[in-house]
Amino acid sequence: MKLSFTALVAIILCQFPVYANNYLHSSVSLFNKASIKSDLASKSLLLDIDKISEEKLVSVGEYGHILLSTNGKKWHQADVPVQTTLTAVSFYNDTLGWAVGHDATILHTKDSGASWQVQFSQPKLEKPLLDILFKNANEGIAIGAYGLVLRTLDGGKSWNKEFHDEFLSLDDKDYLDELKAEDIEAYEDESSFILPHFNRLVNSNGTLFMLGEVGLIAKSQDFGVTWQKFDEIYQGSFYDLGRTSSDQLLVVGLRGNIFRSSNEGMDWDKVNLPTTALLNDVVIGDNADVYILGNNGIVLFSVNDGETFITHTESDGKAHIAGVWFNKQLIVVSEVGIKTITPLTQQHKLKQ
């Protein structure tokens, strides 16, 4: 289904991560056009934020915008060679970073985000990349829509596609085996779109977790070469996983769903909430406080390792898409750019 960029933004305003399901084709390629510098870039749609170091932040979003800040308040744009919407950014250290986005684009920086170069792009795949993570300066993995997985062993000089059939049902495996024997072209077309969307990578305590569509939670001990899929606990999509100070795992997703595990995901308990807002991101703050960012202006706050949450709603009602804890503040990217949210411990005390 082809959507204009205006239609894409309209979808995001209603329910951000669904853009990955709906905007998989673009009638106009923005790949060969450099991102335009704008004073309003920090107020535009931004989709991810990461710490480059304890002193520097980076954020990415629409029109190829990549923004840098040393205080979370003043932001300036980096030099970016594309206007492609960027969906995720990750730094291995304070120098080397990568960003991914639509057209299966992968960008790389060697100078702490000041300038970026294209390492990979394949618009004909008609799939956005949604996350990227590096194990070291050479080994990295990028994931995206319809089970797209790209891997590099040389710092991104080359990227190779992988097909992870461990996420297929037995019926789908049999179907593909039969199709491969009968019609190799039909097999290649079908296998390109049969897997669920892979939304998020989280490296925690030496285990790589992946979250995705149709209740997908999986873990890997070999950096995604092989995956162990968890038993299904929910049929909707998951968008992030966080680990609390006492090693509780939290996963968040559609319709206000949060699940909590005290045994590395072997068993999960549902956390009851008074909201059905889509939940996008888990952020751990000072004093082991847990923040969960959601649509409709929602910020959930817990001081007891995610057993219970206080619900806070920002007055603008805008979607909070991703965030980081930086200089004792919650810095958030949203559909209207970058926001700083006062720590809810302070807000809660003020109301008492």
pLDDT of residue 153: 98
Instruction: Work out the number of other CB atoms within 10 angstroms of the CB of residue 247.
Output: 13
Please, which residues have CB within 8 angstroms of residue 148's CB and are 6 or more apart in sequence?
A: 104, 125, 127, 129, 142, 161, 198
pLDDT of residue 269: 97
pLDDT of residue 6: 31
DSSP three-state, residue 79: strand
Instruction: Work out the number of other CB atoms within 10 angstroms of the CB of residue 185.
Output: 8
- pLDDT in tens for each of the 352 residues of the chain? 333 333 333 334 343 443 444 344 343 455 568 999 999 999 999 999 999 999 999 999 999 999 999 999 999 999 999 999 999 999 999 999 999 999 999 999 999 999 999 999 999 999 999 999 999 999 999 999 999 999 999 999 999 999 999 999 999 999 999 999 999 999 999 999 999 999 999 999 999 999 999 999 999 999 999 999 999 999 999 999 999 999 999 999 999 999 999 999 999 999 999 999 999 999 999 888 999 999 999 999 999 999 999 999 999 999 999 999 999 999 999 999 999 998 665 555 434 3
Of the chain, the end-to-end C-alpha distance in Å amounts to 50
* Distances from the Cα of 249 to the Cα of 125, 222, 231, 258, 312, angstroms: 34, 20, 15, 10, 22
pLDDT of residue 29: 52
pLDDT of residue 345: 59
How is residue 335 written in tokens?
């559909």
pLDDT of residue 73: 93
**Calpha distance 124→189 (Å, rounded):** 13
